[in-house]
């Protein structure tokens, strides 16, 4: 969606509100199995003394698979953002979003903000123990019965203990 900012560009103190659902096409990740609610954003573009800034919040609910143990879990994401908006070619700030004439590409801004804040690992809980590399048991459900293999670098020392 293109947002027309003509009415606030030259008006210090001007505000323009927006609300939009994000397309999940570019927001995918192998760990996201499905979207329980499409990511939606709401916010405002403000002109503060001639400087345009987009502020808002993006929220989403999804079903994910844990990167450590493989269990499915529900996750919620709430992201507050603030992004500078500049006329095309007037800034070298990599965090600024450029206007196309008097228009702001809101899809690009919202998708970029969301993608840059995506998790690199999706975990069912912060202390997820994963699975046993030998038998594949989920270690969050309890210990497995596998005997731990000794560190091969210490095998010589183990031979001394056997004697």
pLDDT tens, N- to C-terminus, the chain (163 residues): 888 888 888 778 888 999 999 988 888 888 999 999 989 999 999 988 878 899 999 999 999 999 999 999 999 999 999 999 888 777 777 788 888 888 888 899 999 999 999 888 999 999 999 999 888 899 999 898 887 777 778 777 777 776 6
d(CA 79, CA 157): 52
**CA 56 to CA 52: how far, in whole Å?**
13
Facing residues of 95 across strands?
A: none
Phi first, then psi: what are they for 47, rounded to 5°? Answer: -105, 110
Same domain for 119 and 136, yes or no, is: no
Examine the domain organization and report whether 140 and 123 are in the same domain.
Answer: no
67, 134: one domain? no
Domain assignment of residue 62, given as a range: 2-127
Tell me, yes or no, whether 49 and 116 share the same domain: yes
Task: Tell me, yes or no, whether 122 and 156 share the same domain.
Answer: no
Residues 58, 97, single domain; the answer is: yes
Domain count, the chain: 2
For 52, residues 6+ apart whose C-beta sits below 8 A from its C-beta are 5, 8, 9, 45, 46, 84, 85, 86, 99
Same domain assignment for residues 144 and 81: no
**87 and 152 belong to one structural domain:** no
141 shares a domain with 151: yes
In a shared domain, residues 12 and 81: yes
pTM (2 d.p.): 0.78
């Amino acid at each position: 969606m293109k947002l027309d900012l003509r009415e606030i560009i030259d008006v210090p103190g001007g505000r323009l509100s927006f609300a939009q659902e994000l397309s999940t096409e570019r927001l995918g990740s192998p760990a996201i199995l499905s979207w329980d609610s499409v990511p939606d954003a709401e916010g405002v573009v403000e002109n503060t003394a001639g400087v345009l800034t987009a502020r808002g919040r993006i929220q989403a609910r999804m079903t994910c698979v844990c990167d450590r143990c493989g269990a499915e879990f529900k996750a919620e994401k709430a992201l507050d953002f603030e992004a500078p908006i500049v006329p095309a070619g007037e800034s070298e700030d990599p965090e600024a979003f450029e206007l196309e004439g008097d228009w702001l590409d809101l899809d690009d801004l919202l998708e970029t903000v969301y993608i840059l804040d995506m998790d690199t690992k999706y975990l069912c809980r912060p202390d997820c123990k994963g699975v046993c590399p030998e038998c594949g048991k989920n270690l969050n459900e309890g210990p497995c019965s596998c005997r731990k293999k000794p560190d091969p670098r210490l095998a010589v020392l183990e031979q001394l203990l056997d004697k």
